[in-house]
């Protein structure tokens, strides 16, 4: 069967690929969409939760979810599921959408490059955490410059700095720049920070070959995953177990943090409404909701193209939307528990 495109003449008629493959289980599509919440945007939301919005900061999210998140998700899922094609071919449904598929491809590649660079940071700390002693711990960190860190400051000195009154601008104050050992450890991978007196990145930063090596390692891991799990069923199984493992690890961390001093106060603070910050959260959530579709706005179309033709995408869209909010809420609880734990120390 040949499906004629509406791009008039000069175009080859589009044919769905029968060898494209399907998910091993229908729920693999749900797990793959859950994985869209486990990225940098998760940290963005926890950052806004940090400003005392708490759990009620999710209320604007639910409003935007009903207004346009779920409807757009249903439309994208139908486009991919019924055409059994990626976002480039599925946008050929009308000449009005001409070029949108290629634009989504460019945005997706740009986002992939960004997240590939962002993955270097945890990889650096994972590799060095295998050493007998953590190089950024206060017991083993020795700065090669005369700087003040949180390790060589007493608790009284920290309280004095935090409680200082700077309202009277007619007086002169001497400020102390306090460094964090883990930050200095990361900045030492750049030659430009070593040439300055206070670990500030200089304007003439040279290429860091350490970072280049870690970047090659990240892309080698990505290449291996796509090579080893090139089939749709295998790739769906990989995503399923990775998402389940991440959520289980998040639940284990939350359970462990419950026994930390001040953790219960953090949960109470998290559940308590703070209406003075709701306007700030409402503006943030209007943008965060759009990130649920993935980078480049073509991810949902590509993932749904592996669904069976009769998959109930309406129910799946609501499950995905509420599942992503559950991930945000769990991570917000962990963030507040840690925040209050460090405040109680």
Q: Could you write out the DSSP letters of every residue in 49-68? A: IIIIIGGGGGHHHHHHIIII
Query: For residues 163 and 186, what is the distance between their CA atoms, to the nearest angstrom?
Result: 29
Please name the residues in contact with 183: beta carbons below 8 A apart, sequence gap of 6 or more.
199
Pull the structure tokens for residue 270.
């998290």
Cα atoms in the Cβ-side hemisphere of radius 13 Å centred on 189: 18
* Domain range summary for the chain, segments of one domain joined by +: 28-134+208-344
pLDDT per residue rounded down to tens, the chain (345 residues): 444 444 444 455 456 666 778 888 888 889 888 888 777 656 656 555 545 666 676 777 788 888 888 888 888 888 888 888 878 877 777 777 777 888 888 888 888 888 888 888 888 888 888 888 888 877 777 766 667 676 666 666 656 655 555 555 445 445 556 677 777 788 777 765 555 544 555 555 667 788 888 899 999 998 998 888 888 888 889 999 998 998 898 899 888 888 888 888 888 887 777 776 666 666 667 777 776 666 657 788 888 888 888 888 888 888 888 888 888 778 878 888 887 787 766
In this structure, the chain runs to a length of 345
Cα atoms in the Cβ-side hemisphere of radius 13 Å centred on 233: 5
Helix residue ranges per DSSP H, the chain = 28-34, 40-48, 59-64, 70-83, 87-90, 100-118, 120-129, 155-162, 181-187, 191-194, 209-228, 232-257, 263-271, 278-288, 299-304, 313-344
The CA distances from residue 273 to 22, 62, 164, 224, 280, in Å, are 44, 16, 29, 46, 14
**What is the chain's mean pLDDT, rounded?**
75
Q: Among 260, 243, 245, which residue's Cα sits nearest to residue 333?
A: 260
């Amino acid at each position: 069967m040949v499906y004629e495109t509406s791009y008039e003449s000069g175009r080859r008629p589009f044919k769905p690929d029968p060898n494209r493959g399907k998910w091993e289980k229908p729920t693999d599509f749900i797990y793959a969409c859950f994985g869209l919440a486990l990225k940098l945007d998760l940290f963005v939301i926890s950052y806004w939760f940090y400003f005392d919005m708490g759990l009620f900061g999710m209320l604007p999210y639910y409003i935007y979810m009903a207004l346009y998140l779920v409807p757009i998700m249903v439309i994208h899922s139908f486009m991919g599921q019924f055409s059994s094609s990626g976002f480039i071919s599925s946008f050929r449904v009308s000449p009005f959408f001409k070029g949108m598929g290629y634009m989504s491809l460019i945005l997706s590649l740009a986002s992939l490059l960004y997240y590939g660079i962002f993955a270097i940071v945890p990889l650096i700390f994972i590799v060095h955490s295998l050493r007998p002693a953590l190089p950024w711990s206060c017991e083993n960190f020795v700065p090669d410059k005369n700087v003040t860190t949180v390790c060589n400051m007493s608790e009284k000195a920290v309280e004095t700095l935090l409680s200082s009154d700077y309202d009277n601008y007619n007086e002169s104050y001497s400020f102390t720049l306090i460094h964090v050992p883990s930050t200095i450890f990361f900045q030492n991978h750049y030659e430009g920070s070593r040439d300055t007196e206070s670990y500030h990145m200089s304007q003439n930063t040279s290429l860091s070959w350490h970072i280049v090596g870690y970047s090659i390692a990240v892309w080698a891991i990505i290449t291996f995953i796509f090579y080893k799990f090139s089939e749709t069923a295998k790739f769906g199984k990989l995503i399923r177990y990775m998402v389940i493992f991440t959520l289980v690890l998040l639940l284990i961390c939350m359970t462990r943090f419950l026994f930390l001093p001040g953790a219960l106060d953090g949960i109470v603070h998290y559940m308590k409404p703070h209406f003075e910050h709701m306007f700030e959260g409402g503006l943030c959530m209007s943008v965060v909701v759009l990130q649920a579709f993935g980078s480049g706005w073509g991810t949902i179309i590509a993932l749904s193209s592996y669904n069976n033709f009769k998959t109930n995408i309406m129910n799946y869209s609501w499950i995905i939307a509420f599942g992503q909010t559950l991930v945000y809420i769990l991570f917000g609880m962990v963030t507040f528990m840690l925040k209050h734990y460090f405040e109680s120390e």
